[in-house]
Amino acid sequence: MPLIQLFSRRLYLRIWLAVVGGVAVLTLLVGWAWRVAAEQNAQPLVSQGREMVLRDSAGNTLVAGLATRTPSEPDEGLELRIDSDNGQHYSLHIAPRPLHNERSEHGERSRRGEPNAAFWMRPPFGFVWMLGLVGLAVAVGVFPIIRRLLKRLDVLQRSVQRFGEGDLAARVPVQGHDEVADLSRQFNAAAGRIQTLVQSHKSLLANASHELRSPLTRIRMGLELMGASSQPSPAFRDEILRNIAELDQLVDEILLASRLDAHEADVGTIELVDMVGLAAEECARVDADLDAGADTLEARGVAKLLRRAVRNLLENARRYSQGDITVSLRRSPSASGTASTAQMVQVRVCDHGPGVPEALRERIFEPFYRLPGASERAGGVGLGLALVRSIATRHGGRVYCQDRSDGSHGACFVLELPLRGIDGAVHC
């Protein structure tokens, strides 16, 4: 069974087996053809110096002496020279052996001097024709086998061509467990990622266009009202400034999201970041409570990105919370539980807002997604949590949403990042 599985999983072994089998069959057939040709071409040979005795029907010796073969052409038969004991010399001519057991008419043709068989059936032509026919038969027999084995490569080639021409939905059917099947799976996975990335960029462009249009429209209306009024109200000015700030924030978040999507983009210098001090500064901005304990929690990463992640979580909590906001930092094991990633710093931001339905706790991290009933006037454009997830992923961490542990209304957003002892966790 392991040998069968090995051949089923290795395409080159199956091709090799087919070719070796074909060559083996060809060799056997060529050997058989060679033997047939040799038998057809063989003539009774007499070694030089062989004693020969010729007797009549009564058993009397007619000729006795040393028989030697004289040179002659193969199609002329066999010519023997007999040197008898009495000093006489005799010649014995033996006609060529016919190619087949001839019937009476064949004998008649031989007597007339006509050839016994077609020239292409006589040596050496018979051997050449037979070898050619055998090679053709083997080639025709092996071709369907190899063609069937490699047919999936044609399917893969056509799918790659369709994908290259712009059909991002092109996929390759996966059959078997060999290299072609692995290549098909890898192509499908890569095509899926590319399609998701392109669709994400299209969605980002469409949503960004919509979100940019809203503050620009409000700014234009405010300017028109200010121009129509002899004494513009300070409220108009405040509204224009608010919309300009919103527009500036949207552009900044869109640019940051684009840089995070492009993994080769340089987003900053990796260094040790004091998460306790960073969280304390951000909590002071929004008047949130901080519970950090006595541990020193340092994470390796880009300081401005980690600050942006914590700030976005706090801004999101302040936007929807109807009570106090609490930020707690703890050292905790990672979800994977492996030795190399056993220690994580956990930043938990809890609010007293309406909470997040369990079915939507993944969708809220999608770009430009807002919970049903959320208003644009509440602030935000739907990119804040998506940026938090991108930043966490770039630092080898994760972010998720859950209910408050005390059972009260609200939600907790948990950001987990590897501590400084983890090597290779950051790929910024």
| Per-residue confidence (pLDDT) for residue 374, from 0 to 100 | 62
What is the DSSP track for 223-259? HHHHHH-SS--HHHHHHHHHHHHHHHHHHHHHHHHHH
pTM for the model: 0.53
Q: pLDDT class for 114, splitting at 50, 70, 90?
A: very low
| Per-residue confidence (pLDDT) for residue 426, from 0 to 100 | 52
How confident is the model over 166-178, as a mean pLDDT?
85
**Do the Cβ atoms of 331 and 427 come closer than 8 Å?**
no
241 vs 390, residue with greater confidence: 390
Pick the range with the lowest mean pLDDT from 49-58, 95-104, 210-219, 281-290: 95-104
3-state helix, strand, coil in the chain (%, to 5): 50, 15, 30
pLDDT at 417 over 70: yes
Fill in the DSSP letter of residue 361.
T
- HSE, side-chain direction, 13 A CA sphere, residue 385: 24
Angle, alpha carbons 188-257-321 (nearest 5°): 115
Separation of alpha carbons 16 and 23, rounded Å: 10
- Domains plus CATH for the chain? 179-260 (1.10.287.130), 268-418 (3.30.565.10)
| Per-residue confidence (pLDDT) for residue 102, from 0 to 100 | 46
pLDDT at 399 over 90: yes
| Per-residue confidence (pLDDT) for residue 67, from 0 to 100 | 81
How confident is the model over 208-224, as a mean pLDDT?
73
Q: What percent of the chain has pLDDT over 70?
A: 74
Query: What's the Cα-to-Cα distance from 331 to each of 291, 299, 341, rounded to whole Å?
Result: 12, 11, 12
61 vs 96, residue with greater confidence: 61
pLDDT at 309 over 90: yes
Taking only the tens place, the pLDDT of each residue in 132-161 is 777 777 777 777 877 777 788 888 888 888
How confident is the model over 395-404, as a mean pLDDT?
91
How confident is the model over 235-252, as a mean pLDDT?
76
pLDDT at 117 over 70: no
Q: Closest Cα partner for 422 from 308, 317, 297, 311?
A: 297
CB neighbourhood size of 262 (10 A): 10
Taking only the tens place, the pLDDT of each residue in 1-27 is 576 766 666 666 777 777 777 777 777
| Per-residue confidence (pLDDT) for residue 346, from 0 to 100 | 92
Q: Closest Cα partner for 390 from 411, 413, 367, 363?
A: 367
Q: What percent of the chain has pLDDT over 90?
A: 14
83 vs 302, residue with greater confidence: 302
